[in-house]
Structure 1
Amino acid sequence: MSGDEVVIIGAGICGLATALALHMKGIRSIVMEKSESLRNVTGAAITIRPNGWRALDQLGVSDILRHTSIPLQRERVVSLDVERLDEISLYHCVGETRCLRRKDIIDTLYAALPPATVKFGCQLESIKLDQHTTKPILRFIDGTTLTTKVVIGCDGAKSIVADFLNLKPTKKFPLCEVRGITNYPFGHSFTYEFTRFKKDNLLVGRIPINNNSVYWFCTQPCIPKDERIWKDPEMIRQHTLQLLSHYPEEIQEMIKTTDTNSLSLKQLRYRAPWDLLMGTFSRGTVIVAGDAMHVMGPFLGQGGSASLEDAIVLARNMAQIMGLNHVRKDEEAFYRFVRQRRIRVVRLSLQAYLIGMISGTSLRLKKFICIMLVTLLFRNQMSHMDYDCGDI
C-alpha cells in the first residue's frame, strides 16, 4: 500500500488517529476534511477512560495530553431531590480518567502527522465502485472525483460512507444535551472529581479539566421547540439557566460565565445495538470506523476512547496483512478488523443504550426492564474501562 491509495474521510478524532496509526506502521494516507480548516473550535471536551489512555499511549501522544489535564480522583452522584450522596472512587478502582478539551486532542493528533496529510475543503458527495476494477470512486461537491484503493469513513454520525454501506440510519434518544466549558482565570475551587447532580429528570455533570477550566453538560428531555435555540449560543445559555433555576448557585454561575464558543445543544443519537450486531461495516475496500460505525450516547463516556481503539486495531490489521501472501489484502484486513471490533462496540452500545433509556423513558415498565437488563448483562458496570485494544 503506497502513494495516495488510502483515503480517510473526516479529520475528527478517529480520522486523525487512524492516519497517525497508519503512519506509525509505514502506511501513507490522505485525510479529506470538508471544513476549510481544522475543526478544533467546535465541541467542548470528552472524558478519556483507562482504555482510551492505552490507545493514546500506542499513538505516542499520551504524555503531551496529560500535561493539559489533571486526573480525576473520584466520582460523585448527588440527588438533589432527596438530598442523597453516592460516592465511588474512580482513580483507585478503575485507573486513569481525565477530561480533555476536544481541541487539545485534535491539535495534538494533527501536529503528530506528516505535513500535508490533511486536505481541507473536500466535502464528499458520493461513493461508487468502478465497474471494472472495483476501486472506490469518490465524488466531491465541487465536482472533482478521485479514484483510490482504500476508503476509511471516519465522517461521524451522518456518514456518507455509512450510507454507501447501507448501514441503517442512526436513531434519536428522547434526550438532548447542552455542553460547555467555563474558564476561571484565577482558578476554581472544585475538587477533581466527576460530579453528577440529579433533579426533576435533569442531569448536570461537572468535570474539572485543569486548575482553570471546567467542562459541564446538562442532559434533559428533548423539548426545545424554537429552532433558534439549537444554534444560538446565547439562547442556549438562557434556556439552560431557566431550566436549572432551582439548582445550586454554583451551577448557575458556572453556566452564566461559560465560554460562548464552547456552547452547543444537540439531540443525542445512537446506532442501535442490534443494527451493529448485524450491520455491514465494510464492502470491498471501503470501511467505516469511529462514530460513523458506532455512534452511541455519552452515558459511558466511551465514544472518543472507542474511536481511538478503532484506529489502533485497524492500522494493526492493515500492517499485518501487508506482510502476508493475500490477493485481496485490504479486504482481508477489514474483515479481521470488523470481526475483532464487532462484539466490543455492540457491548458498549448496548450498555449506553440501556442507560440512556433508563434516563430518557417516561414509561415505568420500560425503565424497569432496562434496569433489569443492565443488572443482568453488566454486573460490573465499570468493566468496559479495563479493555486493552493491544499494541499498534
Structure 2
Amino acid sequence: MNISKIDYEIAIVGGGICGLATALALHRSREMSVDGKTIHVIPNGKEEHRCLKRSDLIEALAHGLPPQTIRFGFRIVSVEIDQLTSFPVLNLHNGGVIRAKVVLGCDGVSSIVAKSFGLKPPRISPIIERRGLTTYPKGHGFSNEFIRITEKCLLVGIVPIDDKLVFWFIDRPRLPRDSRVSREPEVLKEAMVEEMKDFPAEITEMVKNSDLDSLSYTQIRYRAPWDLLLARFRIATMTVAGDAMHVMGPFLGQGGSAGLEDAIVLARCLAKEICLDQSSNDRNLRIRFEFGLDNYIKERKTRILMLSTTTYLVGLMLGTSSTAKMLLILAIVRIFFGNPFSHAQYDCGHL
C-alpha cells in the first residue's frame, strides 16, 4: 500500500480510549485515521464505582467501528500547518504524510500533537504508583465497593472487576532508592509485600498472589491546574483530548472517564459544523471547524480544571505526613468542591 500521501477530512492521532471513543462518535459522518497508543485507566461509574480492564474497553470501542475506519501502525513524528491551505499535515516515520482538514490529538501523555502547538510537557509527580490484578479462583468475597486504606503515606486501593478478579494499586511518595529498585515483576512484588507488612493479612496476600504479568510501576505525570488554565488547546484546526489534554494523577479514578466525556463533547461540537453545507470553500470550512473546536474547548475547560485541581490537592495530601496540612487540604476540597464524589456525578450530555 502506498502511504506517501493520504487525505482525510478528520484524522485522529491515538488509538486508546479517547481516540477510539471519538472515532466511534464521528465515524458515521467521516472516515478517520487512528494511530495506536497506550493509556492505563480506571473509569468510575456515576452512582457506583466500577473497574474495567482496559483491554476489554478498547475491544468494545473498536468493535463498534467499521474495519476501514482504523489504521494502526502510522507513527506520527511531527505535525505542521500547510502554509497554502492552513490545514494540518501529519508527518510519518516512513517519510509519508497525512493531510487532514481536522486533526484530533488523542495520543496520550507524550502527545506529538500537543507538543506541536506548544503545550507544556506534563510534570513529574512526587508520587509513584504500583498496580496489578489478582485472580481468586474460588471468589474474592470483596463487596462491589472502592476500598481505600492509608497507612504512613502508603495508599492502597482495591476495586473488584468481577467476582473472581480484583484490581489494586499502591501509591506512595517517591524515595531516592526507587531509582535503584528493579522493575522485574518478582522483585517489584517482593518490595511491595515488604512495604505492606503492617496492613491486614488479606491485603498482603492479595499482592503476594497477584498475576505477575499484570504488575506495573508508574511514575505519575500530570498537568498542573495553572498550566491548564493558561494553555492554548487549539491551533488552526487541531486540538487535543484525553490524556494529551489533561493527564492527571489517578487519585480520583477519572482519567478514562474524562477522556470519554471529551469524545462525546468533541463529536457533538464538530458534528454541528460537519452537518452544514459541505459545498463551502476551504476557507469557510476551516472557519467552521475552528468554531466547533473552540466550542469544545470552552465546554471542557471548566470540567478539566475542576478535576485536575481536585486530584492535585489529593496528591498533595497523600504526599505529606503533616496532619495539619492534610486537614487544611481536606478543608479546601470540601469548601470549594463540596460533595467529595461530585466529580463522578458529572453529566456531559448526549451526542
- CA 1:261 to 1:22, structure 2 compared with 1: closer, same or farther past 3 Å? same
> Counterparts in 2 of 1:175-194, with a 5 A limit?
175-194=127-146
Aligned residue for 1:20, secondary structure, equals helix
Deviation digits for residues 327-374 of structure 1 (CA, Å, limit 9, x no counterpart)? 422111101000111011101111111111111135677545433321
TM superposition shift of 1:145? 1.9
2:123 to 155, 164, 171: 171
2:244 to 279, 283, 292: 292
Aligned to 1:12: 16
Q: Which amino acid aligns with 1:379?
A: G
Tell me, in whole angstroms, the C-alpha distance in 2 between the residues paired with 1:234 and 1:321.
Answer: 53
* TM-score relative to the length of structure 1: 0.81
2:297 to 324, 338, 343: 338
Aligned to 1:46: 42
Aligned to 1:61: none
Aligned to 1:275: 227
The question of whether the paired residues in 2 share the 8 Å contact of 1:230 and 1:265 is answered with no
Consecutive unaligned residues in structure 1, runs of 5 or more: 51-94
Aligned residue for 1:198, secondary structure, equals strand
Aligned residue for 1:116, secondary structure, equals helix
The answer to which of 251-260 and 299-308 deviates more is 251-260
The question of whether the paired residues in 1 share the 8 Å contact of 2:49 and 2:144 is answered with no
TM superposition shift of 1:164? 1.0
Tell me, in whole angstroms, the C-alpha distance in 1 between the residues paired with 2:221 and 2:305.
Answer: 15
Deviation digits for residues 276-316 of structure 1 (CA, Å, limit 9, x no counterpart)? 11211111111100010001111111111110000000001
Is 1:157 matched with 2:153? no
The question of whether the paired residues in 2 share the 8 Å contact of 1:273 and 1:349 is answered with yes
Tell me, in whole angstroms, the C-alpha distance in 1 between the residues paired with 2:224 and 2:54.
Answer: 25
> Counterparts in 2 of 1:71-86, with a 5 A limit?
none
The question of whether the paired residues in 1 share the 8 Å contact of 2:132 and 2:211 is answered with yes
TM superposition shift of 1:227? 4.6
Aligned residue for 1:193, secondary structure, equals coil
The question of whether the paired residues in 2 share the 8 Å contact of 1:125 and 1:160 is answered with yes
Tell me, in whole angstroms, the C-alpha distance in 2 between the residues paired with 1:242 and 1:248.
Answer: 13
Aligned to 2:98: 146
Tell me, in whole angstroms, the C-alpha distance in 2 between the residues paired with 1:200 and 1:117.
Answer: 49
Tell me, in whole angstroms, the C-alpha distance in 1 between the residues paired with 2:182 and 2:341.
Answer: 33
Aligned to 1:234: 186
Aligned to 2:345: 386
Superposed CA RMSD in Å reads 2.0
Aligned residue for 1:296, secondary structure, equals coil
TM superposition shift of 1:124? 1.3
Tell me, in whole angstroms, the C-alpha distance in 2 between the residues paired with 1:23 and 1:281.
Answer: 23
Is 1:131 matched with 2:93? no
Is 1:360 matched with 2:312? no
Is 1:314 matched with 2:318? no
- CA 1:232 to 1:369, structure 2 compared with 1: closer, same or farther past 3 Å? same
The answer to which of 119-128 and 102-111 deviates more is 119-128
1:30 to 11, 30, 33: 33
Aligned residue for 2:62, secondary structure, equals helix
Deviation digits for residues 37-77 of structure 1 (CA, Å, limit 9, x no counterpart)? xx6xx84x613221xxxxxxxxxxxxxxxxxxxxxxxxxxx
Deviation digits for residues 180-222 of structure 1 (CA, Å, limit 9, x no counterpart)? 1111122212222211111111011111111110000001111
Q: Which amino acid aligns with 1:47?
A: P
TM superposition shift of 1:228? 6.8
Is 1:206 matched with 2:209? no
Is 1:116 matched with 2:68? yes
Identical amino acids, percent of aligned pairs: 46
Consecutive unaligned residues in structure 2, runs of 5 or more: 1-6, 278-283
Tell me, in whole angstroms, the C-alpha distance in 2 between the residues paired with 1:322 and 1:151.
Answer: 14
Is 1:301 matched with 2:253? yes
Tell me, in whole angstroms, the C-alpha distance in 2 between the residues paired with 1:371 and 1:184.
Answer: 35
* TM-score relative to the length of structure 2: 0.90
The question of whether the paired residues in 2 share the 8 Å contact of 1:7 and 1:32 is answered with no
The question of whether the paired residues in 1 share the 8 Å contact of 2:87 and 2:100 is answered with yes
The question of whether the paired residues in 1 share the 8 Å contact of 2:248 and 2:255 is answered with yes
- CA 1:188 to 1:367, structure 2 compared with 1: closer, same or farther past 3 Å? closer
The question of whether the paired residues in 2 share the 8 Å contact of 1:9 and 1:32 is answered with yes
Aligned residue for 1:149, secondary structure, equals strand
Aligned residue for 1:347, secondary structure, equals helix
TM superposition shift of 1:232? 2.2
Q: Which amino acid aligns with 1:48?
A: N
Q: Which amino acid aligns with 1:31?
A: V
